[in-house]
Structure 1
Amino acid sequence: MEEQTIKIKDLDANQLERAVGMLKAIAHPMRIAILSHLEDGKKLTVTQIHKLLNIEQSTTSHHLGILKDKGVLGSQREGKNTYYFLKHESLSHIVECVSRCTIE
């Protein structure tokens, strides 16, 4: 299936506001690192993420909360664990694009 290209001019004010919120949420080195671990449909718990990034679990939870609140991440409860995942896989393209644009 071909991906539809949407231009900024085609977005209404609400869509632009949500897009700005998502971009602000992503615009943090630790949150970009979190997204990089959730690419390709991966689902991880807070514990798995904090161990991968070697940061405090409370800090991890804080960043996950911001990303979830702004619609970047979704979560799914399975037993005692809550798994986090990219709500829109295309968000990983933003990080990829920014990475390529910053290479000198």
Structure 2
Amino acid sequence: MTSLMERISEEELNKASNILKVIAHPVRMCIVDLLRDNNRLSVVELQGLLNLEQPIASQHLTLMQDKGILRSERVGKNRFYSLAKTDLTRVVDCIEHCLGGSK
């Protein structure tokens, strides 16, 4: 049997750890989930869906974009976000499954 450290380089494990640290926040997990279901959403839409004030939403979105989890696109006066790493939705699915599923 081989260990994870034998199958994945230390550099890749560190990248994975850093990504998991970023999405290990309830709001950011919800952002990943919403973007899976909606493909792309504007800052205003995300604020409304998550009941967040604009500065808080922007902080979360900026962090996630800086870490390569999200990509953004400006269309007119609006900024739209989508998942750059769509496989992260599987992490959210796994967490939901491990906790017993939906309400």
TM-score where L is the length of structure 1: 0.83
1:92 maps to amino acid: T
Q: 1:1-104 counterparts in 2 under 5 A?
A: 8=4, 9-40=6-37, 42-103=39-100
SS, match of residue 77 in structure 1: strand
Q: Which has the higher helix share?
A: 2
* Superposed CA offset, 1:41-91 (max 9, x none): 611111110011111011000111111122211112222222111112111
2:92 maps to amino acid: V
Q: Which runs of 5+ in 1 are unaligned?
A: 1-6
Count residues with an aligned counterpart. Answer: 98
Rounded to whole Å, the distance in 2 between the matches of 1:30 and 1:67 is: 11
1:51 maps to amino acid: G
Alignment CA distance shift 1:94-1:52 (3 Å): same
Identity %: 38
Q: Is the contact made by 1:40 and 1:89 (CA closer than 8 Å) also made in structure 2?
A: no
- Runs of 4+ residues deviating >3 angstroms: none
TM-score where L is the length of structure 2: 0.84
RMSD: 1.9
Q: Is the contact made by 1:22 and 1:72 (CA closer than 8 Å) also made in structure 2?
A: yes
Rounded to whole Å, the distance in 2 between the matches of 1:12 and 1:77 is: 36
